[in-house]
Amino acid sequence: MPPIIEIHDLTRRFGNIVAVDHVTLTVNQGEIFGLVGPDGSGKTTVLRMLSGLISPTEGTARVAGYDVVRNPQAVKDRIGYMAQRFGLYPDLSVQENMDFYADLFGISRSERRELGEKLMRMTRMEPFRSRRAAQLSGGMKQKLALMCTLLHRPQVLLLDEPTTGVDPVSRRD
């Protein structure tokens, strides 16, 4: 089985600043892989390159078999990317945010209902279904962002600081 993520000599410069310097790594299907490092070490930049949001200055990256520069849309179709500040709509309820993202992904109403219920149970967000996102705690917002990221059943999950603001019990779940 080919690797789900392949990076070779990936580099990203912003002017004179080298944010990512010749990173090479392989992640196989089914593996959980984490990038660990201090603030400003390029972790988010690597994730943004893997998601096709920015292009590398040098090197190559493939996600789910697709080159992130040559086929960015194919990559985007196969990943779930949860940024540090995921774009929730504060005036929409938990359910409305889920429905909005399901519409963006073209998910049918029946599939949306089935998966939405499963995600609500998994994250213990069922009691908050009608609550506006603006009224959620930081940890609940992270859970909602994760649910929206998982809606289209991505092959690859790219999570940037996914447990920020999440209570220790929920982190374990």
Where residue 13 falls (left for φ over 0; alpha for ψ -120 to 50; beta otherwise) is beta
Among candidate residues 96, 144, 109, 107, the one with its CA nearest the CA of residue 124 = 144
At residue 109, does pLDDT exceed 60? Answer: yes
Whole-angstrom CA distances from 12 to 20, 41, 166 are: 5, 12, 31
Helical (H) or strand (E) element with 145? helix 138-150
Quickly state the pLDDT bin for 158 (edges 50, 70, 90). very high
Cα 51 from Cα 69, distance rounded (Å): 10
Across the chain, mean pLDDT equals 91
- For residue 145, count other CB atoms closer than 10 A to its CB: 22
Quickly state the pLDDT bin for 84 (edges 50, 70, 90). confident
Cα 165 from Cα 158, distance rounded (Å): 18
List the Cα angle 73/24/65 in 5-degree steps.
30
Whole-angstrom CA distances from 95 to 34, 82, 148 are: 30, 18, 10
At residue 165, does pLDDT exceed 80? Answer: no
Quickly state the pLDDT bin for 173 (edges 50, 70, 90). low
pLDDT digits (tens, 9 = 90+) for 1-50: 889 999 999 999 999 999 999 999 999 999 999 999 988 899 999 999 99
pTM of the model: 0.85
Quickly state the pLDDT bin for 171 (edges 50, 70, 90). very low
Quickly state the pLDDT bin for 133 (edges 50, 70, 90). very high
* Domains of the chain, CATH where assigned: 5-82 (3.40.50.300), 94-154 (no CATH)
